[in-house]
Amino acid sequence: TIAHARSWIDGFASRCDEQKAYLTELDSAIGDADHGANMARGMGAVRGALSADEPQALDALFKAVGMTLVSSVGGASGPLYGTFFLRVGMTSGAVDSLDGAGLSASLHAGVKGIVDRGKAEAEDKTMFDAMAPALDALDASLAEGGDLAAAASAAAEAAAAGRDATEPLQARKGRASYLGERSIGHIDPGAASTALLFDALAEALS
Ligand code: ADP
Ligand code: MG
Ligand code: MG
């Protein structure tokens, strides 16, 4: 429902704020030390935009989130998460609720947006490495008859595992790829923020 979506976005914003130093620390190892600031600023701006204008349909809500991220975050993560939410909204449509299949389709469209934009593949050491397993786990749980809460919880666990699995990888996309082999041995910051995204979804749907 709209209320669940609001709670998801709000929970993601809180997590980005609380974990700002952690995300920045990850980005200082293999990037330019701004991922925490980027996400906290972007999601803070999203909170402001949503409180100024309370969208009454899922497409309008996610569109507002995406547009705000694209316009308020300068780094790679702004257009990537922005495109994610824009596509989630386009696929949700002008409705006030989604079932499991609808949520899955919307999230898949969002991840496809990230791939269209950033061309990430599995094991490139990006946010995609947390997103893809999260959606696989969500779909597997729904296929077994799991409800939305169970499916989102499985997705959150898989996203966290995907985040951890970026550590031994060598980055092939984004700023971290400039480091070559020196990117090995560090968790990808975007995969870490994606784990927060799915953790927030699981809490919102619990
Ligand atoms: P910037 O690298 O511009 O400073 P951020 O630090 O906010 O931006 O975000 C970095 C994160 O963006 C990386 O950790 C990675 O997960 C993600 N990222 C970068 N390039 C890509 C890409 N081409 N596809 C998917 N994700 C990417
Ligand atoms: Mg950065
Ligand atoms: Mg930057």
pTM, full prediction:
0.98
**Class for the domain spanning 2-205:** mainly alpha
Q: Which atom of ligand 1 is nearest to the CA of 74?
A: 3
Ligand 1 nearest-atom number relative to CA 193: 16
Residue pair 147/141 in contact by the 8 Å Cβ criterion? no
Tell me the best of 35, 39, 72, 186 to mutate to test the pocket of ligand 1, counting ligand atoms within 8 Å of each CB and taking the most.
Answer: 35
Residue 162 CA to residue 154 CA, distance in Å, equals: 12
Alpha carbons 32 and 157: distance in angstroms, whole number: 28
- CA 65 vs. chain centroid, Å, equals 12
Residues with CB under 6 A from ligand 1: 27, 31-32, 34-35, 38, 75-77, 80, 114, 118-120, 126-128, 173-175, 188-191
Distance CA 184, CA 173 (A): 13
Q: Residue 69 CA: which ligand is closest?
A: 1
Q: What is the pLDDT of residue 53?
A: 86
Q: For 61-119, write each residue's pLDDT tens digit.
A: 999 999 999 999 989 999 999 999 999 999 999 999 999 999 999 999 999 999 999 99
Residue ID of nearest Cα to ligand 1 atom 27: 126
Give the number of the atom of ligand 1 that is nearest the alpha carbon of residue 27: 6
What is the predicted pLDDT for the residue at 116? 98
Which residues, 6+ apart, have CB-to-CB distance to 54 below 8 Å?
none
Predicted local distance difference test score (pLDDT) of residue 195: 99
The answer to whether 147 and 185 are in contact (CB under 8 A) is no
151 CA → ligand 3 middle, Å? 33
pLDDT of residue 157: 98
Pick from 12, 11, 6: which is nearest to 54 by CA? Answer: 6
Dist. CA 56 → ligand 3 center (Å) = 33
- The predicted pLDDT at position 62 comes to 98
Which of ligand 1's atoms lies nearest the C-alpha of 190?
16
Per-10-residue mean pLDDT of the chain, 206 residues long, equals 98 98 98 98 97 93 98 95 98 98 98 98 98 98 98 98 98 97 98 99 98
The amino acid that residue 134 corresponds to is A
Shortest-distance Cα residue to atom 22 of ligand 1:
118
Of 159, 165, 162, which is closest to residue 195 (Cα–Cα)?
Answer: 159
